Structure 1
Amino acid sequence: MSVTYEDRRMTILGLLEMEGKVQVPQLAERLGVSTETVRRDLDRLEKEGKLRKVYGGAVKMRMELHEPPFMKRSQMNPAKKSSIGRLAASLVQDGETVMVDNGTTTLEILPHLRDRKDLTLITHSVPILNLAMEILRGRVIFAGGEIDPECQAAVGSLTEQMLDGFKVNKAFLAAGGISVTDGVTDYHLGEVNIKRKMMQRAEETILVADHSKFGRSTFARIARLEEFSMLVTDSDCPKEWVEKLEALGVERMISE
């Protein structure tokens, strides 16, 4: 039985969503068609604006190198981010020390930590610092350094050196994209270095990301997905990603 174009289209786009890139020979073998048929399909999908052809295959159109401003990001998926923040905060116990990364989703963790006793929070994020000083009952430590006005966070060697002096129970990290092939990525190299340092200094590293981050690759790689202790996301996380996370052995919590 021959495979229709619509069937091939769904397979190609599904693989791109998961892996970010497809190769002509592998597609031909998987679909049971000739390489010429696959190339024609890729031509058609490129005209539809679904992908971009490259030598030997195709890549997603959504490779993103520039991040929207902090304020604009804070208005994207606010309800989902709030539910993720509530669920992530439930992992924090009284008396723990946590690092909280810069991001609009990590910011949503703080309102749900109001009642934690003897909490110590360490951050390099200016928005998180400002909110923490207003609402937290515990100790707040700012990992200072040169402030990047675009990120609204401290970055660079001074910040990394300060973080290196701590050992914490949990680190909550944000990300720009999550891809099977590229791992967990972000837009700013300076912030990526901070995230890696937080991962080194934490007993557990928890990735918080809403569904829009799946299948997206950004500029710089933070780590492989399986290097994180847990992923907290929302209920719109695609079914194929839930299955992939399970296959990778990544523990996950999904908010309502």
Structure 2
Amino acid sequence: MDSRKTERLKLIQQALQDQSAIHLREMAALLDVSEMTLRRDLNHFTEHLRLLGGYITRVGSEAGDYRVADQGTRHVEEKRRIGKLAARLIQPGDTVFFDCGTTSPFVIDFIPDELEFTAVCSSLNVLLKLQNKPNCHIVLCGGTFHRKNQVFESSAESGILDSVRLTWAFVTAAGVSQAFGVTCFNFNEVEVKQKVLRQAQQRVLLADFSKFDTVRTAHFASLEDFQYVVSDKKIPRAYKEAIQASGAQLLV
């Protein structure tokens, strides 16, 4: 197997670390190859990967684990676009916080392997992605592990974040509302989200169109707290106007 195929295998396996399946078309776009080329590759990767209904999955994963509607594979095309746009903001030497949530790993996918940067994270799904970036120095906020959202929580996190100066904070949300602010599902995420928003020079909200006009349980910020909002082209017009009126930069 030539080196290019081997590298593509590695990238596909990385993409499947935090989700159970990825569409062939989306993976081909990420690798910058044709779908036909990727199909031929998969014929050589049969020990590791399989193609099921147009989706690439890992060999050995149970059929019952494959649900396209699962959170990890919901709105994947939009999240991948968001990841590509957000990754362009990172420059050599930057210190970047990557929030928990299923959008953050897509940002990491698009960071060039040769880029040297420091990453700060507090969740397992993000850590698994970052460890594959050879020139990334990782700072993990550890503590008690919450399986539901893969977050590490500890009072010591505040101390770690106090000593770090962030260039960028990429923050995810489960709900964005003009009336009720920016929200998430779990209260154990709130303290860290608010801390990094205070610490970062540049604050970036990552949210696909489905998050807008939605309110979840735990409030942690207002839309005006962000200098950038990275979304997709389906973002409601009212929110486009509100973001622009606040002085933030909208990337879609």
**TM-score, length of structure 2 as denominator length:** 0.70
Equivalence for 2:81? 83
Asked if structure 2 preserves the Cα contact closer than 8 Å seen for 1:113 and 1:136, the reply is no
Report how far residue 179 of structure 1 moved. Answer: 0.3
Equivalence for 2:177? 179
Asked if structure 2 preserves the Cα contact closer than 8 Å seen for 1:84 and 1:233, the reply is yes
What CA deviation, in whole Å up to 9, does each residue of 1:80-133 have, x standing for no partner? 100100000000001111111101111110011133532111100101101111
One-letter amino acid of the counterpart of residue 179, structure 1: S
Equivalence for 1:61? none
Equivalence for 1:200? 198
Report how far residue 251 of structure 1 moved. Answer: 1.7
SS at match of 1:134: coil
Equivalence for 1:66? none
Report how far residue 140 of structure 1 moved. Answer: 1.2
Task: Give, in whole Å, the separation in 1 of the partners of 2:70 and 2:159.
Answer: 31
Equivalence for 1:157? 155
Asked if structure 2 preserves the Cα contact closer than 8 Å seen for 1:178 and 1:217, the reply is yes
- Counterparts of 1:1-256 in structure 2, within 5 Å, are 72-254=70-252
Task: Give, in whole Å, the separation in 1 of the partners of 2:130 and 2:242.
Answer: 35
Moved more, 74-83 or 154-163: 154-163
- Between the two proteins, the alignment pairs up a number of residues equal to 184
Equivalence for 1:52? none
One-letter amino acid of the counterpart of residue 121, structure 1: A
Task: Give, in whole Å, the separation in 1 of the partners of 2:225 and 2:133.
Answer: 31
Change (3 A) 1:136 1:171: farther
Q: Larger Rg: 1 or 2? A: 1
SS at match of 2:110: helix
Task: Give, in whole Å, the separation in 2 of the partners of 1:251 and 1:244.
Answer: 11
**TM-score, length of structure 1 as denominator length:** 0.69
| Larger relative contact order (Cα-Cα within 8 Å, sequence gap ≥ 6) | 1
Change (3 A) 1:203 1:116: farther
Asked if structure 1 preserves the Cα contact closer than 8 Å seen for 2:190 and 2:219, the reply is yes
Asked if structure 2 preserves the Cα contact closer than 8 Å seen for 1:94 and 1:116, the reply is no
One-letter amino acid of the counterpart of residue 191, structure 1: E
Question: Can you give the 5+ residue segments of structure 2 that lack an aligned partner in the other structure?
Answer: 1-68
Report how far residue 246 of structure 1 moved. Answer: 1.9
User: Stretches of 4+ moved more than 3 A in 1?
Assistant: none
One-letter amino acid of the counterpart of residue 187, structure 1: F
Equivalence for 2:44? none
SS at match of 2:164: coil
| Superposed CA RMSD | 1.4
Task: Give, in whole Å, the separation in 1 of the partners of 2:160 and 2:70.
Answer: 30
Sequence identity (%): 30
Task: Give, in whole Å, the separation in 2 of the partners of 1:247 and 1:134.
Answer: 39
Moved more, 94-103 or 236-245: 236-245
One-letter amino acid of the counterpart of residue 93, structure 1: Q
Asked if structure 2 preserves the Cα contact closer than 8 Å seen for 1:84 and 1:232, the reply is yes
What CA deviation, in whole Å up to 9, does each residue of 1:212-243 have, x standing for no partner? 00000111111111111110000111122212
Task: Give, in whole Å, the separation in 1 of the partners of 2:127 and 2:240.
Answer: 33
Report how far residue 144 of structure 1 moved. Answer: 0.7
Asked if structure 2 preserves the Cα contact closer than 8 Å seen for 1:124 and 1:154, the reply is yes
